[in-house]
Amino acid sequence: MAEIIEMPKLSDTMTMGTLVNWLVKEGDSVSAGTMLAEVETDKATMEVENFEDGVVLKLYAKEGDSVAIGEPICAIGEKGESAPDVGGGKSADTPPAKAEKKEEAKKDDDAKAKDAPKSEEKEAGKAGGEKPAKTDAKDEIPVEEKKTDDSSKEDGDERIRISPLARKMAEEKSLDISAIKGTGPGGRIVKDDVLAAEKAPKPAPAKESAPAAPLSAADLLEEKTLPVTNMRAAIARALVSSKTEAPHFYLQTEVDGAPIAELRKALNDRLADLPPEQGGVKFTVNDLILKAAAEAVRRVPAINRSWKGDTIVQHGSVHLAFGVAVDDGLLTPVIRDAQSKSLRTIGSEAKELIKKARGKKLKPDEMSNSTLTVTNLGMFGITDFYGIINPPNAAILSVGATVKTPVVDDKGQITVGYRMKVGLSGDHRVIDGAVGAQYLAALREILETPALMLV
């Protein structure tokens, strides 16, 4: 008997998944362990695994469809077996489409029956005689009259073949569905057709008298409405919750960036050109900052806490999250037990997690249960900013660019210096300003004397 594969719950907060890409097609032979599809959750893109040997009988969902947890996405069975009728499937030629046809036919029949007496009365009036006996509407209305220009726009829309999701999207975007070309079976309009119609250039209204004005730079900008992805929606929910529930306070310190830059240069000059088997590695400024952030927690462990409502938990390990910018937002992979890892290990893990994040391959457990977060915008030239706390952390560090600036040295002389600003956003329910200040002071000392993080 065929097995229905349903949309799995791939993260704790997931309620819907977007089917990004099918890795199989109908008719393919599959075995246990075969990856069937890539699904975008609220956190990352993950693969759906098959657990039965057989043949792909039916794909119920199309690429780009949003599917609720538990909804069928495909059927696996024996070769030649018929695919089950799932009713709620997403396939364009499954029962929902048939139901629409029946509903449309019923509405046509109701309209015919309603119009039939009027036609009889009109003919009777012309003849001046008695009203003819009521007959079947099908006999009275010629076929040509079934699609007349007198039908209302609403009735006309109802006869257009369009999926319920596509109709809803078109209404929300104020699109005329009669002008949308359907690419589904039988010319049915589906979600992708609505998105394509939205992106299509709109004809400019004709102007009879005014001469055409030359295009300005502003005219070349594209106006568009973007759908909210699962990831963007999850980011929005988490940050709104953090900003409204956690009373943020903000601190900032200025760090001499020269020592850490010199250490990085010295390490890379010695190690960057070596092959990996001989210890070759190339460090980034962010690697050194992550290591320093974990080391500073050893000195001020109170920063490593979480609010639990009726208790405050002080964590025994530093699970260090850091921000990675991706096309649709920001992901925060986590380096576990960072306080006990070497600079080399932290750098290696950070590179692997960044690669996974940009490829949308991070697993939920690689992005959860952090205790402290670092976000760095220095590579974009941003000198100072404050991040929004990443729940359930008590604080987030925000690191700016190292800039060349005039400074007063120990001898009172003005000289060229390299300064980096580090901000801290703290949750006042968990920590106070003194704890945040102590942590920033410890971090500054480590960054300005980076040899401390190597012992």
Of 20-24, 234-238, 304-308, 344-348, where does mean pLDDT reach its minimum? 234-238
Q: How far apart are CA 310 and CA 79, in angstroms?
A: 58
Cis peptide before 247 (omega within 30 of 0): no
Domain limits, CATH 3.30.559.10, in the chain:
248-454
- Exactly one of 248, 315, 319, 428 is catalytic; name it: 428
Tens of pLDDT, residue by residue over 421-434, are: 999 999 999 999 99
CA-nearest of 402, 433, 377, 453 to 252 is 433
- pLDDT recorded at residue 154: 40
Q: Is 428 annotated in the active site?
A: yes
Looking at the chain, the domain(s) classified CATH 2.40.50.100 span: 3-91
Rounded to an integer, what distance in angstroms lies between the CA atom of residue 332 and that of residue 323?
5
Contacts (Cβ under 8 Å, ≥6 apart) of 405: 416, 417, 418, 419
Average pLDDT, the chain: 81
Structure confidence by residue, pLDDT tens digits, 119-157: 444 444 444 444 444 444 343 334 333 333 333 334 344
Among residues 28, 37, 36, which one has the least CA distance to residue 57? 28
Looking only at the bridges linking them, the beta strands covering 320-322 and 372-376 are parallel
pLDDT at 243: 92
Q: Is the dihedral of CA 368, 371, 376, 377 positive or negative?
A: positive
CB 326: neighbour CB atoms within 10 A? 15
Summarize the confidence of residues 324-341 as an average pLDDT.
91
Which is more confidently placed, 154 or 448? Answer: 448
Q: How confident is the model at residue 202 (pLDDT cuts 50, 70, 90)?
A: low
When mean pLDDT is compared across 18-32, 210-224, 237-251, the lowest value belongs to 210-224
Mean predicted confidence (pLDDT) in 52-77:
90
pLDDT value of position 150 = 37
DSSP structure string for 373-418:
EEEE-GGGT-----PPP-TT-SEEEEEEEEEEEEEE-TTS-EEEEE
What's this model's pTM, rounded to 2 decimal places?
0.61
Report the pLDDT value the prediction gives residue 265, as an integer from 0 to 100. 94
Question: So what CATH class is 248-454?
Answer: alpha beta
Instruction: Output the pLDDT for position 200.
Output: 75
Q: Residue 324, exposed/middle/buried by CB under 10 A (0-12, 13-18, 19+)?
A: buried
Q: Which top CATH class is 3-91?
A: mainly beta
Confidence band for 210, pLDDT divided at 50, 70 and 90: low
Buried b vs exposed e over 106-125: b needs ≥16 C-beta within 10 Å?
eeeeebbeebbeebbeeeee
The residue among 214 and 364 whose pLDDT is bigger is 364
Model confidence pLDDT, tens digit, residues 281-332: 999 999 999 999 999 999 999 999 999 999 999 999 999 999 998 887 889 9
What the block records as the tokens of 299 is 């000195």
> Which residues in 131-229 belong to E strands, given as ranges?
none
Rounded CA-CA distance 401/393 in Å is: 24
How many Å apart are CA 10 and CA 16, to the nearest integer?
10
Q: What angle do CA 210, 211, 214 make, to 5 degrees?
A: 125
